[in-house]
Amino acid sequence: MLAACLRFLAFLAIAIGLASPAAAQKFEGLAQTPPMGWNSWNKFDCDIDERLVRETADALVSTGLRDAGFVYVNLDDCWHGERDADGFIQPDPERFPSGMKALGDYIHSRGLKFGIYSDAGEYTCQKRPGSQGYEYQDALQYARWGVDYLKYDWCYTGEGDAQRNPIEAYTTMRDAIHAAGRPMVFSICEWGENDPWTWGKDVGHLWRTTGDIINCWDCTVDHGTWKSYGIMQILDLQDGKRQAAGPGHWNDPDMLEFGNLATLAENRAHFAMWAMLASPLILGTDIRELDEAELAALKNRALLDVALDPKGIQGYPIRKGDGLEVWVRPLEGGDFALAFLNRGNQPLSENYAWPEDGLKDDFSGFEVDFGSDTFNIRDVWSGADAGDTSAPLSVSVGARDVAIYRLSR
């Protein structure tokens, strides 16, 4: 009876929200810079339990990653048990015997934030209970557990004419979170299939722009009904979407495969390009196994300052094709970041001549005339002075790596 009453109240709330759009809203003031943290899926798939989550929280603290800004500890699929007699979702009792409230309390005690996963369909992607028809109950349960971040997937939402309307589905959960009263970052994960960059700003704080990422530099894996994409493929699929990103509403090219790629160069190039994209930086590796060089790249303050620049302008390429790609990201105070990406398997070098017609970005209003402006150049990776724009920049980039610079007057 209680479950039926709650579902009726959920329907009533939806009806009121549709009649009075001004009353419906996401929690504002969250994700003013791209969220940073960890998610269990890329490395562990369904093999998760409370011991792993607690040890990951501890590792985020002991490695200094928490203090660098990686604060969200996000459980992905497979934490679910069954619903109780009143319809409230419960955790798997064998994997999470202490319960989610205790786990959330532990994460919070470590100065971190607690994230969880659900799905807009009848089931999650791994056939655990989804939230369709239970949105308000699930949001209330998450609030009771102290959840700070919800990733909301798109499996088992129907097909063809029977598929749920994505805007309606995600708006329903947005409104449920708001009704539950606890601010949560809301991550829309419908794989970019319904152009969420055109409608997601008013619904969530970030939205996936593509299908799933995979831990390879340059590949596509065809699973039959869907595909996974390597780092370079995901990067290319961001074209044409940058105007949608900004403080509180981010394009999400998926969680980081940093730590899961073949070389340090690939890992740090991946991380640097996601920083150039103003992407959320959610690690998907085993934090306990990161080595010192990997940790140094992740905690590089100059790169994180680019990633978290308060203007929130997404970077863009000014040169692609053979040789080094060149990407620009306008930053606060008239600074900008310049990244040289080597996609290939051999080192590349050049003396980069500053464009005679300067740089101009109509979207952000960023404009540089190298004839009248001189910028000082600092190597982001090393922190070393690299001269200024009065002379060409000597650039050398290893195979599958990135050189990145910050330029300021």
Residues with active-site annotation: 153, 212
Q: Which two tokens stand for residue 255?
A: 């969680």
**Which residue bears the tokens 């490695």?**
63
Cβ(51)–Cβ(92) below 8 Å: no
SS3 string of the chain? CHHHHHHHHHHHHHHHHHHCHHHCCCCCCCCCCCCEEEECHHHHCCCCCHHHHHHHHHHHHHCCHHHHCCCEEECCCCCEEEECCCCCEEECCCCCCCCHHHHHHHHHHCCCEEEEEEECCCECCCCCECCCCCHHHHHHHHHHHCCCEEEEECCCCCCHHHCCCHHHHHHHHHHHHHHHCCCCEEEECCCCCCCHHHCHHHCCCEEECCCCECCCCCCEEECCCCEEECHHHHHHCCCCCHHHCECCEEEECCCECCCCCCCHHHHHHHHHHHHHCCCCEEECCCHHHCCHHHHHHHCCHHHHHHHCCCCCCCCEEEECCCCCEEEEEECHHHCEEEEEEECCCCCEEEEECCCCCCEEECCCCEEECCCCCCCEEEECCCCCEEEECCCCEEEEECCCEEEEEEEEC
- Token pair for residue 306? 């680019």
CB half-sphere exposure, 304, CA atoms < 13 A: 17
